Structure 1
Amino acid sequence: MRARLALIRRLAEFTNQYPWQWACAELEAFFDMLRSAPRPAALSTLRGYQTTMRLFQDFVTDTRYGWPQACRERFGQAPAAVLHEWNSMVHAVEYEGRPGRRPLTYDEVQVLFDTADQRVDDIRSRGRKGALVAVRDAAVLKAVYAYGLRRREACGLDLADLRHNPSMPAFGRFGALFVRLAKASRGSAPKRRTVLTVPEMDWIVAVLDEYLTEVRPRLAPAAHPALWVSERTARLSVYRLGRVFEIVRDLAGLPEELDLHGLRHSYVTHLVEFDIPRSSFRTRSGTPSPRRRRSTPACRTSSVTNCCATNCASINPAWRRAGETENGLPVEPASGDGRTRNVRHHGPGRAVG
């Protein structure tokens, strides 16, 4: 309710008029201002604003509440509807994100991780504090990519969320991540999912092991349950994680349109090129349907009921189902064009003296 009231007051300040004086032109000018700002509002955000304004409009124009009559008696003018079908934004296409927003390429992921590792050496060579935090930053960025995590999911991980995978005993306690703060939908509680460590990204095992054995204890987390902790014995914040990516991205000289969520998009895109079965994408990425995806590949999936041993075994080419079809047509493996690649092995961060 506070956010809705703030939006109505913001519109009143912009128009310098009272609600019963508003017209369609003022509303259109307000949305044009939001779209032309240095950081333009997303279409989904503007649709949410219009929903709030439509609720307010229905309230003040409904004769059952008495506002039209009261305004007409006091000011000689009654509130009128300013949002109509012809000036409202509709969800007409599946993807509404910015054109520049895209997954990172293999080379960009490699440069990003190399820069994150080099940042540790640069801090130590200047004799400044922060080398431990830089190692943590490099590890969390690699984990976001290796497991396709959203920033809130990564920051919400606890030590208890590290799981074994009986199908991959060599990974030890890093065989899977149990994500408990996945994206909610339609007002529900946060969803949960288990993300398995795929063999193509087994380098993350050494990264996490070094962080937990050498770095995290030196951050003095005491009994804090969080996997990623700050130097002040607190959980790594969502804002800080986003800033870490921006700092490393700028040091690496990568385009500014790349953001932290692009690592998640890269995870799904690269799994496609690894020829991972489509049936496991929904469980791994935590996306309920292809329509909800943005710039990730729209891989149509079937219902998945087993997300552990079955999916882990399915990534082995020897166990993959032959003759997989989609809509009755044979599906060509993503690696058939010979372009399958992988990010080079990312060993653990440099030891901090």
Structure 2
Amino acid sequence: MAGRRSEAGFAPEILRSSSSILLRPDEQTFAAMLTGWADQQTARGLVQTTIQPRLDLVRHFQAFVNDYPWKWTAGDLEDFMTEQGGRKIAASTARTYQSSIRLFLDFVCDPRYEWTSVCERLFGDHPVQICFDWNTRIHTQDYEGRPQRRSLTRIELQKLFDHADDEVIRLRKSNNKGWLPAQRDATAFKVAYAFGLRRREFQMLDLEDFGSNPHAPEFRDKGVLYVRWGKAIKGGAPRRRSVLTIFPWSVDVLDEWVADYRRQFATAARGSALWPSERVGRVGPEALGRRFAGWRDEVGLPTEIGPHCLRHSYVTHLIEDGYDPRFVQEQVGHSHASSTSIYTSVSSDFRTRTLRNVLDAGMAEALTQKEAIS
């Protein structure tokens, strides 16, 4: 037993580390449970940005129920989710809430951590699992985002980028100091599309993240982009991947930004962030989001269109241009082809051309066979 006391999340060890006399045993036990759960998740290699929201959600649920885990019931969960439903949360958000509660109860109900024994001794009761298939949301489809979110057509994308360029010119001609941040953001959005990046991925880029591709020397020192802040899996560390440069214009855009504009930020010399801000070393995602929303509204795009739609557009346009789906999957860092297919919203023109090509090929084959017979 002595060896087990050092295990992350082990109940007696955590309670022993606090006061020997529990003045408020219910509050202190609940707090110790959360500490143990956090330790257990840390031991599993999960990052704090995953752990902390889970802890906050469980605290929120406890405050809603106004009771402690050894008193929670399935009805409490249903009441809680009914209230959250009134806020019109997304299906994926609701599942995240339920998953946090389920995982916490899996932890405290696991006899290996002895929380059930502690609760029996202190309260004459113990926690039980209250999340089941019949009272929680199940994952019935691959994509549960808002249907209005989609890729941009090529015309829409060009319209957005042209507007961004025009806005930079307008601000610069009027001697508005905001022209330089506008230039930065316009370039950042073009790079996000050119490499199919998520917002955090392109926001966190550094100068050193580009390298040469010996198989595409025409792209010079920007033939490949090394993404270091890719989306993590199950709370792990950010995933890395390399994205090959496809569009020649993206190299020119980057070279111009680095050579002519980036250095004009006073903060640029403090680090190697590709997108420095006026006051700190790196522009924040909120500022990029506000800029995108403003330009989106000014060109009349739907409000559901956000920076992530640039990534959708990248996938769609590559598929339309005939790139192999497996290549596209590797470029955007999807583990499964089904994930890439979700992002693909090929235009009706592309589908019409594809159908026409198939029909024409079939007709040509039929004519060849007919001539052979005759």
| Contact 2:64 2:80 (8 Å CA) reproduced | yes
Q: Identify the residue that residue 67 of structure 1 maps to in structure 2.
A: 119
From 196, 203, 207, the counterpart of 2:253: 207
Q: Identify the residue that residue 324 of structure 1 maps to in structure 2.
A: none
* Alignment of 1:278 onto 2:322: no
Q: Identify the residue that residue 148 of structure 2 maps to in structure 1.
A: 100
Q: Can you list the C-alpha shifts for 1:197-229, whole angstroms capped at 9, x where unaligned?
A: 21xx32222211211111011113115112221
> Shift in Å at residue 17 of structure 1?
4.5
What residue identity is the alignment partner of 1:158? D
**CA distance in 2: counterparts of 1:19 and 1:243, whole angstroms:** 41
Q: Identify the residue that residue 206 of structure 2 maps to in structure 1.
A: 158
* Alignment of 1:133 onto 2:185: no
Q: Identify the residue that residue 9 of structure 2 maps to in structure 1.
A: none
CA 1:283–1:83: 2 relative to 1, 3 Å:
closer
Report 1 or 2 for greater relative contact order, CA contacts < 8 Å, sequence distance ≥ 6: 1
Q: Identify the residue that residue 13 of structure 1 maps to in structure 2.
A: 63
3-state SS of paired residue (1:109) = helix
Q: Identify the residue that residue 297 of structure 1 maps to in structure 2.
A: 344
CA 1:160–1:57: 2 relative to 1, 3 Å:
closer
What residue identity is the alignment partner of 1:254? L
| Contact 2:270 2:281 (8 Å CA) reproduced | no
| Contact 1:274 1:334 (8 Å CA) reproduced | no
| Contact 1:24 1:83 (8 Å CA) reproduced | yes
Percentage identity across paired residues of the two chains: 41
CA 1:166–1:247: 2 relative to 1, 3 Å:
same
Q: Can you list the C-alpha shifts for 1:260-288, whole angstroms capped at 9, x where unaligned?
A: 11110110110001111233122211111
3-state SS of paired residue (1:181) = strand
CA 1:235–1:23: 2 relative to 1, 3 Å:
same
> Shift in Å at residue 108 of structure 1?
1.8
> Shift in Å at residue 50 of structure 1?
1.9
Q: Can you list the C-alpha shifts for 1:99-153, whole angstroms capped at 9, x where unaligned?
A: 2221122122112112211221332355432111101110000000011011121
Normalised by the length of structure 2, the TM-score is 0.70
86-95 vs 3-12, which deviates more? 3-12
| Contact 2:334 2:340 (8 Å CA) reproduced | yes
Unaligned runs of 5+ in 1: 300-331, 340-353
3-state SS of paired residue (1:180) = strand
**CA distance in 1: counterparts of 2:355 and 2:154, whole angstroms:** 17
Q: Identify the residue that residue 22 of structure 2 maps to in structure 1.
A: none
* 1:73-112 matched pairs, under 5 angstroms: 81-112=129-160
Higher helix share: 2
CA 1:279–1:298: 2 relative to 1, 3 Å:
farther
* Alignment of 1:236 onto 2:283: yes
| Contact 1:103 1:263 (8 Å CA) reproduced | yes
| Contact 2:199 2:308 (8 Å CA) reproduced | yes
> Shift in Å at residue 68 of structure 1?
4.4
CA 1:192–1:59: 2 relative to 1, 3 Å:
closer
**CA distance in 2: counterparts of 1:334 and 1:183, whole angstroms:** 34
**CA distance in 2: counterparts of 1:298 and 1:186, whole angstroms:** 27
Unaligned runs of 5+ in 2: 1-37, 39-51, 358-374
> Shift in Å at residue 28 of structure 1?
1.8
Aligned Cα root-mean-square deviation (Å): 3.0
* 1:242-321 matched pairs, under 5 angstroms: 242-293=289-340, 295-297=342-344
| Contact 1:54 1:83 (8 Å CA) reproduced | yes
58-67 vs 216-225, which deviates more? 58-67
| Contact 1:20 1:80 (8 Å CA) reproduced | yes
- Residue correspondences, number: 299
**CA distance in 2: counterparts of 1:20 and 1:42, whole angstroms:** 28
**CA distance in 2: counterparts of 1:239 and 1:19, whole angstroms:** 37
Q: Can you list the C-alpha shifts for 1:44-98, whole angstroms capped at 9, x where unaligned?
A: x3333223212333456668423246434xxxx7655432221122222222222
> Shift in Å at residue 169 of structure 1?
3.0
| Contact 2:150 2:345 (8 Å CA) reproduced | no
